[in-house]
């Protein structure tokens, strides 16, 4: 497999100005005729430069240059390219190919999902549809005529505006779409099917009416309202927050069941995994609703950050993804609760991105090389990319940031650009210098920031000395210091923020200051500090770093009780709980009886019963670090021990449940839903807290408790409560468990999305015998290995969310995963490579588990016809 390097990038030799497609959809062979107008890029090429087009899995039926059939000696084809050697400076090229979408299980290019046809072209799927320079810097104007059976496919969609349509006398019909905006081919889309359409309109700030259409299978017609509402909110928010107005007269969203990712921002025609569209209270949880709003917004925001301004090459992916994630995070914060959203995002970053940054797949936010681009749609490019944008936002302030985006849109609309153009606009609009800051884009690894504190009572000064160090990663040994914004406050003994005055300043400033670290070691000195403070460092998680502040338990408990910064307040609690559990892990491993200190139980209780705090916040604060999060912490100082981690966490939860039983019962009662189900922050907060209490109570595992939980399950009138109760039961060895699982299936067997929850919950169960159950479920008639949601629900949940059972010392979990990866490799390489990545961290376990994981990685590596996707992950893991 060939490695592609950023440093090798050259602009294309030929531009394509227009492409006209004619797609004849049939049950077997689909015919695609494409007419390109091509123009030589004279900066890069001369008359000796051949035209090279990408294509694969297609049969070339004919090719004509300026209307003349190409003879055999004028062109060459191999498995991936069509090369035409002698071409004029401008010409038209017409090719006709035959493709087989009904056999396309990779879900890349044109494929079938149930009764419909749909496409997924990002990153390099367009080359499965027709011959084309499949790279994002070639931007063309598209027109597309779709021809298909009228009965089976009454709805025929592509990008842009519908300009013409007609009937044929053989029962087929045709529709013509034209997209007035030029775009790279990864934004092309086509959909054909028999679909229900929910319609609405949106009036833009300049007074234009945009038709909004959501297309779903007829049976889902009652599950589109929330998605529509989310779309309208997103459109309004982008006008208000960024001054960005929608540009076409129509915006379409199509929900499909078979989809590799969450959704795709194709111009004017988003294609969505149905999971991020379909919802009603009986079938979707609070988390589902929140995700729908977020993903709808994300894809909508791409219209400006991704589509109008697109990428020069795939290395720049974070230019659109990091920025668009930042935008959707801000949108969600405005729609819900800012601190709770921030906590949820940082949880994801630490649980997935930090390990990625410390493992074999570590790569900078702008990767320098790749084998298969699909492997780089990562938490680093997306979530760390968003953190980098957030730091720019922090350094410039909201107004400076907005000046920067205004300039970016003004300068680069209609262009394919690089990250330099974005940061350049930020710098120019504000007269700022981001040259050192650019290292965030080129250096992988999570920087470690250590803080030393010194209070001088006599001079009333307080000095903080920061040192930063970025660990080596497989791609780079030595790292230069980064430009790190550290938001900071100082708490007095009374728990209040102190006024902050740095040495050299004439008067105190605001109580949260942003210190900018630039050197490997730096000291900041505060003056007029009346007493030794407790510092609250990295407020709001102002930089994606690991902080080593050397807090005592008492200081952490103090911050957990008093910090005015809610993020740091939550973080102090998590750090304290994690520290306590890491000590328990040590005790368990050496055979000491574990014990929980009464002051920890008391501090937990005070937060649980605190009526001044937002309920969603309390639920986040009292959700203990997960087994996976503890594994990450444990790996920082030795081998991960999944058994001891499970035992310590189980002990902690159970001890809290025993000690605070009546508190949990009371919290449960006080937070029952008063009226009908509503997706509103206050109601969501009550449900989160109520179900948190239920989860703790479940750990008591008495017959009375299991009866109580089963009763909650029976009574639930919404999916949030129903699944919460069932998932508590799923971990319990009680007589109510099986009947509840069976009843859930009977009730929901016709709803594929709800069944995903049913599969996932059984796979995540901590009971012994779970692996056998998972294997049996592979044979269940509602399971299909060809459907990515089902794979994620059953295989993903077992291997990713059930670390104790997956890492069973027998190695049975590893063998199971490898079997599935080998099976998936032949069906859907993108999904196979996502699944195999669970084994990336094999070197962090004990020698026995390491050997077992390595054996399976080697078995996968030796599989014949290994896809580039899986090869890249496995070879890096084994290196
Ligand atoms: N841009 C798409 C991701 C495409 C994935 C290609 N393998 C979704 C998004 O980030 O909006
Ligand atoms: Zn995106």
DSSP assignment of 533-559: PEEEESTT--SS-EEE----HHHHHHH
- CB of 20 within 6 A of ligand 1: the answer is no
For the stretch 272-317, pLDDT in tens is: 999 999 999 999 999 999 999 999 999 999 999 999 999 999 999 9
- CB of 264 within 6 A of ligand 1: the answer is yes
- CB of 196 within 6 A of ligand 1: the answer is no
What are the start-end ranges of the H helices in 716-842? 719-730, 737-748, 752-763, 770-778, 788-791, 797-801, 803-806, 812-827, 829-836
From the list 299, 330, 356, 872, the catalytic residue is: 299
Cα separation values, 103 from 31, 116, 726, 815, 828, Å: 14, 13, 38, 29, 12
Give the largest CA-CA distance in the chain: 96
| 305 Cα–ligand 2 center, Å | 9
| 278 Cα–ligand 2 center, Å | 19
- Distance, in Å, from the CA atom of 2 to the CA atom of 6, rounded to the nearest integer, reads 13
Selection from 186, 163, 696 nearest residue 416 by Cα: 186
pLDDT of residue 635: 96
Reduced to 3 states (helix: H, G, I; strand: E, B; else coil), residue 858 is helix
Sheet strand arrangement including 155-158: 109-113, 116-120, 190-193, 155-158
DSSP assignment of 206-222: TS-EEEEEEEE-GGGGG
User: Ligand 1: which residue has its CA nearest to atom 8?
Assistant: 264
CB count within 10 Å of CB 422 equals: 26
Phi, psi of 290 (to 5 degrees): -65, -40
**Interface pTM (ipTM) of the complex?**
0.99
Phi, psi of 663 (to 5 degrees): -65, -45
Report the predicted TM-score, pTM, of the whole model to 2 decimal places.
0.99
CA torsion sign, 673 to 674 to 678 to 680? Answer: negative
| 328 Cα–ligand 2 center, Å | 10
- Distance, in Å, from the CA atom of 639 to the CA atom of 653, rounded to the nearest integer, reads 23
The H or E element spanning position 428 is: helix 419-430
- Distance, in Å, from the CA atom of 554 to the CA atom of 561, rounded to the nearest integer, reads 11
Sheet strand arrangement including 461-469: 521-526, 461-469, 448-456, 546-548
pLDDT of residue 673: 80
Atom of ligand 1 nearest to the CA of 122: 6
Determine the residue of 128, 264, 872 to mutate for testing ligand 1's pocket, defined as the one with the most ligand atoms within 8 A of the Cβ atom: 264
Positions in the chain short of pLDDT 50: none
Determine the residue of 107, 119, 261 to mutate for testing ligand 1's pocket, defined as the one with the most ligand atoms within 8 A of the Cβ atom: 261
- CB of 374 within 6 A of ligand 1: the answer is yes
Determine the residue of 263, 273, 788, 872 to mutate for testing ligand 1's pocket, defined as the one with the most ligand atoms within 8 A of the Cβ atom: 263
Cα separation values, 802 from 445, 761, 783, Å: 26, 10, 19
User: Ligand 1: which residue has its CA nearest to atom 1?
Assistant: 264
pLDDT of residue 570: 98
- CB of 317 within 6 A of ligand 1: the answer is no
pLDDT of residue 688: 98
| 297 Cα–ligand 1 center, Å | 14
DSSP state of 509: B
| 121 Cα–ligand 1 center, Å | 9
Cα separation values, 814 from 327, 567, 851, 857, Å: 38, 37, 11, 9
DSSP state of 505: -
- Distance, in Å, from the CA atom of 519 to the CA atom of 573, rounded to the nearest integer, reads 30
Give long-range contacts, CB 8 A cutoff, 24+ apart: 816-820.
816/771, 816/774, 816/775, 817/856, 818/856, 818/857, 818/859, 818/860, 820/785, 820/791, 820/795
- Distance, in Å, from the CA atom of 587 to the CA atom of 592, rounded to the nearest integer, reads 5
- CB of 271 within 6 A of ligand 1: the answer is no
Residues near ion ligand 2 (Cβ under 5 Å)? 321, 324
299 catalytically annotated: yes
Atom of ligand 1 nearest to the CA of 263: 8
**Shortest-distance ligand to the CA of residue 322:** 2
Atom of ligand 1 nearest to the CA of 299: 11
pLDDT of residue 601: 96
CB 838 within 8 A of CB 800: yes
Phi, psi of 558 (to 5 degrees): -65, -45
């Amino acid at each position: 497999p060939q490695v592609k390097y950023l440093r090798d990038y050259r602009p294309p030799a030929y531009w394509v100005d227009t492409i006209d497609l004619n797609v004849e959809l049939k049950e077997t062979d689909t015919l695609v005729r494409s007419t390109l107008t091509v123009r030589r890029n004279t900066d890069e090429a001369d008359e000796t430069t051949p035209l090279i087009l990408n294509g694969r899995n297609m049969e070339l039926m004919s090719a004509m240059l300026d209307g003349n059939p190409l003879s055999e000696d004028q062109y060459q084809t191999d498995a991936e390219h069509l090369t035409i050697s002698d071409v004029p400076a401008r010409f038209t090229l017409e090719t006709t190919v035959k493709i087989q979408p009904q056999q396309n299980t990779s879900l890349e290019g044109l494929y079938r999902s149930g009764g419909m046809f749909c496409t997924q072209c990002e990153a390099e799927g367009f080359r499965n549809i027709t011959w084309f320079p499949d790279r994002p810097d070639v931007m063309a104007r598209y027109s597309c005529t779709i021809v298909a059976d009228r009965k089976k496919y009454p709805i025929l969609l592509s990008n842009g505006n519908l300009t013409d349509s007609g009937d044929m006398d053989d029962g087929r019909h045709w529709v013509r779409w034209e997209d007035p905006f030029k775009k790279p081919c990864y934004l092309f889309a086509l959909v054909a099917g028999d679909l229900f359409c929910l319609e609405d309109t949106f009036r833009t700030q300049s007074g234009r009416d945009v038709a909004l259409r959501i297309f779903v299978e007829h049976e889902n017609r009652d599950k589109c309202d929330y998605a529509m509402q989310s779309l309208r909110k997103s459109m309004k928010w982008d006008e208000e927050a960024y001054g960005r107005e929608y540009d076409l007269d129509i915006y379409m969203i199509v929900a499909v069941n078979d989809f590799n990712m969450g959704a795709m921002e194709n111009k004017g025609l988003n294609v969505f995994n149905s999971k991020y569209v379909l919802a009603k209270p009986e079938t979707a949880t609070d988390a589902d609703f929140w995700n729908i709003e977020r993903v709808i917004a994300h894809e909508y925001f791409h219209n400006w950050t991704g589509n109008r301004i697109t990428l020069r090459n795939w290395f720049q992916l974070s230019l659109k993804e990091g920025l668009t994630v930042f935008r959707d995070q801000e949108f969600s914060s405005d729609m819900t609760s800012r601190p709770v959203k921030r906590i949820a995002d940082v949880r994801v970053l630490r649980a997935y991105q930090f390990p990625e940054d410390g493992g074999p797949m570590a790569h900078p936010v702008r990767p320098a090389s790749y084998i298969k681009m699909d492997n780089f749609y990562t938490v680093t490019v997306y979530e760390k990319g968003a953190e980098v944008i957030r730091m720019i936002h922090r350094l410039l302030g909201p107004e400076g940031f907005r000046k920067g985006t205004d300039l970016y849109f003004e300068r680069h609309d209609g262009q394919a650009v690089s990250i330099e153009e974005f940061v350049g606009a930020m710098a120019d609009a504000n007269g700022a210098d981001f040259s050192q800051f650019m290292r965030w884009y080129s250096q992988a690894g999570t920087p470690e920031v250590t803080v030393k504190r010194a209070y001088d009572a006599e001079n009333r000064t307080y000095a903080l000395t920061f040192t930063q160090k970025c660990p080596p990663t497989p791609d780079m040994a030595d790292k230069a210091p980064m430009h790190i914004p550290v938001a900071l406050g100082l708490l007095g003994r009374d728990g209040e923020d102190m006024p902050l005055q740095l040495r050299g300043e004439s008067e105190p400033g605001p109580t949260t200051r942003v210190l900018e670290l630039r050197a490997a070691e730096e000291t900041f000195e505060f003056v007029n500090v009346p007493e030794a403070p407790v510092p609250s460092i990295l407020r709001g998680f102002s930089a994606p770093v690991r902080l080593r502040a050397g807090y005592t338990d008492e200081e952490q408990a103090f911050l957990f009780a008093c910090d005015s910064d809610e993020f740091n307040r939550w973080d102090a609690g998590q750090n304290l709980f994690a520290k306590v559990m890491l000590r328990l892990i040590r005790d368990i491993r050496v055979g000491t009886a574990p014990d929980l200190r009464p002051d920890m139980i008391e501090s937990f209780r005070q937060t649980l019963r605190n009526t001044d705090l937002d309920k969603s916040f309390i639920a986040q604060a009292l959700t203990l670090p997960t087994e996976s999060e503890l594994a990450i912490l444990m790996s920082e100082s030795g081998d991960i021990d999944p058994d001891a981690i499970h035992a310590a966490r189980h002990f902690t939860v159970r001890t809290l449940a025993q000690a605070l039983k009546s508190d949990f019962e009371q919290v449960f009662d006080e937070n029952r839903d008063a009226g009908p189900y509503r997706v509103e922050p206050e109601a969501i907060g009550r449900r989160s807290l109520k179900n948190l209490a239920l989860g703790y109570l479940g750990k008591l595992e008495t017959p009375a408790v299991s009866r109580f939980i089963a009763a909650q399950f029976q009574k639930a009138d919404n999916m949030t409560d129903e699944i919460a109760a069932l998932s508590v039961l799923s971990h319990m060895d009680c007589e109510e468990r099986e009947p509840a699982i069976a009843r859930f299936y009977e009730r929901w067997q016709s709803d594929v999305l709800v069944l995903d929850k049913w599969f996932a919950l059984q796979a995540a169960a901590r009971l012994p015998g779970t692996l056998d159950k998972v294997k049996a479920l592979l044979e269940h008639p509602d399971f299909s290995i060809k459907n990515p949601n089902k794979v994620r629900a059953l295989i993903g949940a077992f291997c990713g969310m059930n670390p104790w059972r997956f890492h069973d010392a027998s190695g049975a979990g590893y063998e199971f995963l490898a079997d599935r990866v080998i099976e998936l490799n032949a069906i859907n390489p993108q999904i196979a490579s996502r699944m195999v990545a669970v084994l990336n961290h094999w070197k962090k376990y004990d020698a026995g588990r390491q050997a077992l994981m390595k054996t399976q990685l080697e078995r996968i590596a030796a599989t014949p016809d290994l896809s580039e996707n899986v090869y890249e992950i496995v070879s890096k893991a084994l290196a």
